[in-house]
């Protein structure tokens, strides 16, 4: 086990996740390493299929069991009592005692994550009863407090509502209430604002920030919305084809991205200063994410990269190397492209 700062909540080292398919083992996540500290928000960004959600499911051990899924590496969760838990080595009963208590997750689509045949109150109270040993009445009282905390009006009446009786924004708030019911040290939010209108999205983000300030929990925020990242994140980890291709504090990464893929993501975001201009075209990254069962040789982004140099970029998978203080990048040409990236 590796040493860690006293405020480090989660440490992930060389996490790899592969799925068994008729065509062989599909490597969904490869050698991913990162850490999250108390009160810190780490944003995971990248295109669909880059490995963001699978990384979070692997941390919580919610992937299919072996031999259908292979999970390797080291994932250490440090709880407030000072204990370090190796999540990939824990027996399932111990893992179950940590899920929903020391660590929790807000899933991407609340309509499919909430149980349609149980009331909102029952679903929130279940976690409190299991982890805190409260009786039914006390657990429902706690559920009402949580619904009020996340801004749902008339919380006592909403306890008896079923998921289909709530709006999308209220269902997402109920999911957040459930995740926060036991005051976790680590919260994983998988695109919690997807499909919500911008007003509700802003309210959800503000709510998460307020709760984080109160509890000092560590947050892993998975999203494809770079505007949201700029607003809430302390650090950013960019993933592509199952690997980390760049990670840095949010300001340096937005100001001077090193990896051509990160540069492409940032160029694809609409800009307010383009409003009213004619002839401005939104940049797009050509091509598609490569087939994980038949990846290109060398850099996985090479076939789509405008800076691709045959023989150099195709030789081997580039290492993730330091390009500055707390700024890592996976690109053999990053130093050559630095002036262009910073422009």
Residue pointed to by tokens 């960019």: 238
Contact partners, residue 235, CB within 8 Å, separation at least 6: 40, 41, 42, 43, 247, 248, 249, 250, 326
Q: Is the pLDDT of residue 2 over 60?
A: no
Q: What is the pLDDT of residue 342?
A: 43
CA–CA separation, 21 and 19 (whole Å): 6
Q: Is the CB of residue 107 less than 8 Å from the CB of residue 129?
A: no
Write down the CATH number for the domain with range 8-233: 3.40.50.300
Residue 67, number of CB atoms within 10 A of its CB: 8
What does the pLDDT average to over 277-282? 71
- For 37-54, what is the mean pLDDT? 94
Range 290-307 average pLDDT: 92
Q: Where are the domains of the chain?
A: 8-233, 243-270+289-342
Q: What whole-number percentage of the chain has pLDDT above 90? A: 64
Per-residue model confidence (pLDDT) at position 172: 86
Rounded to the nearest 5°, which phi and psi values hold at 113? -90, -30
Q: What's the pLDDT score for residue 341?
A: 43
The predicted structure's pLDDT at residue 275: 60
Does pLDDT of 194 surpass 80?
no
pLDDT digit string, tens, across residues 55-71: 999 999 999 988 899 99
Interacting residues of 186 by C-beta distance below 8 A, sequence separation 6+: 9, 10, 36, 77, 102, 103, 104, 217, 218, 219, 220
Distances 229 to 59, 154, 243, 266 between C-alpha atoms, Å? 21, 32, 19, 11
Q: Mind giving me the DSSP string for 185-208?
A: SEEEEESTTTT--HHHHHHHHHHH
DSSP 319: P
pLDDT at 192: 84
Other CB atoms closer than 10 Å to residue 182's CB: what's the count? Answer: 18
Contact status, residue 179 vs residue 172, Cβ threshold 8 Å = no
pLDDT in tens, 302-321: 999 999 999 999 999 999 99
pLDDT at 279 over 70: no
Q: What is the pLDDT of residue 336?
A: 87
Is the pLDDT reported for residue 3 higher than 60? no
Q: Pick the residue with more confidence: 1 or 236?
A: 236
Confidence of residue 343 (pLDDT cuts 50, 70, 90): very low
CB 181 within 8 A of CB 143: yes
The more confident residue out of 165 and 273 is 165
The residue-averaged pLDDT of 317-329 equals 92
Q: What percent of the chain has pLDDT over 70?
A: 94
Question: Tens digits of per-residue pLDDT, 219-267?
Answer: 999 998 888 899 899 999 999 999 999 999 999 999 999 999 999 999 8
Instruction: Pick 81 or 276 by higher pLDDT.
Output: 81
Question: Which value, in Å, is the radius of gyration of the alpha carbons in the chain?
Answer: 21
pLDDT number for residue 333: 93
On average, the pLDDT of the chain sits at 89
189-212: average pLDDT? 82
């Amino acid at each position: 086990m590796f040493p860690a700062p006293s405020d480090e909540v989660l440490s992930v080292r060389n996490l790899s996740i592969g799925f068994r398919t008729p065509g062989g083992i599909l490597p969904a996540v490869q050698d991913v390493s990162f850490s999250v500290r108390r009160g810190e928000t780490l944003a995971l960004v990248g295109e669909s299929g880059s490995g963001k959600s699978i990384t979070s499911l692997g941390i919580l051990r919610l992937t299919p069991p072996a031999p259908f899924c292979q999970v390797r590496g080291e994932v250490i969760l440090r709880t407030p009592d000072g204990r370090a838990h190796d999540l990939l080595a824990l027996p399932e009963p111990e893992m179950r005692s940590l899920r929903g208590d020391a660590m929790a997750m807000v899933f991407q689509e609340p309509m499919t994550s909430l149980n349609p045949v149980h009331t909102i109150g029952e679903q929130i109270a279940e976690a409190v009863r299991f982890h805190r040993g409260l009786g039914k009445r006390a657990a429902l009282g706690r559920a009402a407090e949580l619904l009020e905390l996340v801004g749902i009006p008339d919380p006592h009446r909403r306890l008896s509502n079923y998921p289909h009786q709530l709006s999308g924004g209220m269902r997402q708030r109920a999911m957040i209430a459930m995740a926060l019911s036991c005051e976790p040290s680590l919260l994983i939010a998988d695109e919690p604002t997807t499909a919500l209108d911008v007003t509700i999205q802003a309210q959800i983000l503000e709510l998460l920030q307020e709760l984080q300030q109160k509890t000092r929990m560590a947050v892993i925020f998975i999203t494809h919305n770079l505007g949201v990242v700029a607003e809430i994140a302390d650090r950013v980890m960019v993933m592509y084809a199952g690997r980390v291709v760049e990670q840095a504090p949010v300001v340096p990464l937005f100001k001077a991205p090193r990896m051509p893929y990160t540069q492409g993501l940032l160029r694809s975001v609409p800009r307010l200063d383009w409003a009213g201009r004619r002839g401005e075209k939104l940049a797009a990254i050509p091509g598609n994410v490569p087939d994980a069962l038949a990846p290109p040789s060398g850099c996985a982004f090479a076939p789509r990269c405008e800076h691709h140099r045959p023989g150099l970029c195709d030789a081997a998978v580039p290492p993730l190397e330091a390009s500055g203080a707390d700024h890592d990048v996976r690109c053999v040409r990053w130093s050559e492209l630095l002036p262009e990236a910073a422009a």
